[in-house]
Structure 1
């Protein structure tokens, strides 16, 4: 079975050659390429499905459009968070030092390390961020009171993403 990259190479070779038609059969798979009058190459395969480069851009465009829609849908949420942060500019943000999964408690049965109103010191553990099966305890790095928890338990977090707002003492 040919890989997509190999099929693309075949298309380039046929396109650059003086051939008008090319057929390739191997283990029950068949690829047939014909040059049109305009010089473009078309690929058909009646026996097995093979990714055809001509069809590949369509799903990518659809996927990209879907991603763009998701990003646009999330932008107002991010802006709302930024607006809230600007109103509370005197608060310290505890940010994620890595990409991973946020856990508010040491185990599913235990209560959260901190919640709004909890007092923390600079070496207090406020949460765990799991990355690659390693559980990393995150410290407050500031003395103060937790004002807000910005992420939910089990949520994926990015590097530098604010996790908590702390009112410093």
Structure 2
């Protein structure tokens, strides 16, 4: 049965995406969400029990079950001039090939795969995207130098979302 935190995270993900309706069924649990006119009414039925959750929490397996439009990464006002300068250098963007959770290192106590200033080759693993409890290694696909890391460790990422900027050689 889904935990209340998992349902809350699903609600948050649906609310942030362009999805109009979401249906999830597993082991007698049925969650149906629909957001007409910007609101998110929720039905959660588990063998004759009705659950009305409120937002908050983190669920790693919920994100891959949601197809969403590509998101634009948030930028802080102070970063705007820096990004304009970076764009002028004609950088390659390494993007997320799926919806999931971004991890910069193979384990919490390990060093990150890459950091700003590191040289990469096409087969260099730069991060992991976790989707449905599967850890997918993401490779650089170009020769170059990591100029900027655009997401935080543990952050949920959307399909097509830029993860790294690489100055190609």
Q: TM-score, structure 1 length as denominator?
A: 0.53
Q: Deviations over 1:27-83 (max 9, x none)?
A: xxxxxxxxxxxxxxxxxxxxxxxxxxxxxxxx976846xxxxxxxxx9893596787
Structure having the larger proportion of residues in helix:
1
In structure 2, how many angstroms separate the alpha carbons of the residues matched to 1:121 and 1:75? 26
Distance in structure 1 (CA, Å) of the matches to 2:92 and 2:75: 18
- Show the counterpart of 1:77: 74
How far apart in 2 are the matches of 1:77 and 1:145? 23
- 8 Å contact from structure 2 (residues 104, 114) kept in 1: yes
Task: Name 2:13's counterpart in structure 1.
Answer: none
| Aligned CA distance change for structure 1 residues 110 and 83 (closer, same or farther; 3 Å) | same
Aligned counterpart, 1:98: 98
> Equivalent of 1:88, from 86, 89, 92?
86
Higher relative contact order, chain-length normalized (CA < 8 Å, sep 6+): 2
Larger radius of gyration between Structure 1 and Structure 2: 1
Q: Shift in Å at residue 126 of structure 1?
A: 0.1
For 1:156 and 1:136, the matched residues in 2 are separated by 14
Aligned residue pairs, count: 102
| Alpha-carbon displacement from aligned partner over 1:114-146 (angstroms, at most 9, x marks no partner) | 000111001000000000000000000000100
Q: Which residue number in structure 2 is paired with residue 16 of structure 1?
A: none
CA distance in 2, matches of 1:123, 1:76: 25
**Any unmatched runs of 5+ in structure 1?**
1-58, 65-73
Which residue does 2:6 correspond to in 1? none
